[in-house]
Amino acid sequence: MVFHKKKQKNVDEGDDYADKHGDYWIYIAKKADTKLHLAHSTGKIVQKTADKLMKTVKKRCKMPIDNEKVTFTSDGNSQYIGAILKNFKRNTINYGQIIKERVKGRVISKIRKVIFGEMDVMDIDTVYIERYNLTMRHSISRLVRKTICFSKCNEMADNHIDLFQCYNNLNRVNSALEIKTKKGVKNIKRTPCMAEGITDHVWLRV
């Protein structure tokens, strides 16, 4: 979460552009196996933002069927339940949530639960997306808190995140996707799009 223009507590309902100032949340869908940044949605922490994310995921994915289910995991945000069911049939989805209990900012316990479908509760985790959130915050100056770089405009922040999505998927080599080769031969370095079979080479920035 970042701020636009001012903190949410300082935004009055009568303010011009009240819907564009204050808290700004980024909802992201990322594939755990290929590290592909699949989709994102930005805005207030409301159902509409989650719905927009899952609608984009639906457009970009092969639709699941009874014997080829898709698995989703997330934090305890209940908005995802409604967003998933609006876009996918319940019997084609495995979905679990991990809820972290914090005391003074420190995680003291984790509760994993299956919302619907069948899955091992120990497979429910958000570690990949949490690490990616950290990568984005370190790479996109607009997301850095308490600096002069923080974003003051929704549209420009959205454009910046779109560019980072392209960079992550096409330009950025991910060490977890590297293919080991025999001794004396260089390992094959891959981007998420290479792992997905979308392209066969690392795209260069010009």
pLDDT score, position 149: 78
Per the model's pLDDT, the better-predicted residue between 8 and 71 turns out to be 71
The whole-angstrom separation of Cα 129 and Cα 136 is: 10
Q: What's the domain range around 168?
A: 2-196
For residue 51, what are the β-bridge partners?
none
Residue 67 lies in a domain: yes
Strands (E), the chain: 2-4, 22-30, 37-43, 70-74, 93-103, 106-116
Tokens of 167: 């960079």
In the predicted model, is pLDDT for residue 5 greater than 60?
no
The whole-angstrom separation of Cα 58 and Cα 85 is: 11
**Tens digits of per-residue pLDDT, 106-121?**
999 999 999 999 999 9
Residue 206 lies in a domain: no
Residue 205 lies in a domain: no
- Measured in whole angstroms, the distance separating CA 64 from the mean position of its chain's CA atoms is 20
pLDDT score, position 3: 45
pLDDT score, position 13: 59
pLDDT score, position 7: 52
Residue 84 lies in a domain: yes
**3-class DSSP state for residue 26?**
strand
Q: Give the CA distances from residue 144 to residues 108, 138, 151, in Å, rounded to whole numbers and listed in that order.
A: 26, 7, 9
pLDDT score, position 122: 93
Q: State what percent of residues in the chain have pLDDT above 90.
A: 69
Range with the lowest mean pLDDT among 2-6, 147-151, 158-162? 2-6
pLDDT score, position 200: 95
Residue 93 lies in a domain: yes
The whole-angstrom separation of Cα 43 and Cα 24 is: 5
- Per-residue pLDDT band for 70 (boundaries 50, 70, 90) equals very high
- Per-residue pLDDT band for 64 (boundaries 50, 70, 90) equals very high
Residue 201 lies in a domain: no
105: alpha, beta or left, given left = phi > 0 and alpha = psi -120 to 50? left
Read off the DSSP letter of residue 144: -
Mean pLDDT of the chain: 88
Provide the domain count of the chain. 1
In the predicted model, is pLDDT for residue 206 greater than 90?
no
In the predicted model, is pLDDT for residue 4 greater than 50?
no
pLDDT score, position 143: 85
pLDDT score, position 93: 95
- Residue pair 149/142 in contact (Cβ under 8 Å)? The answer is yes
Residue 203 lies in a domain: no
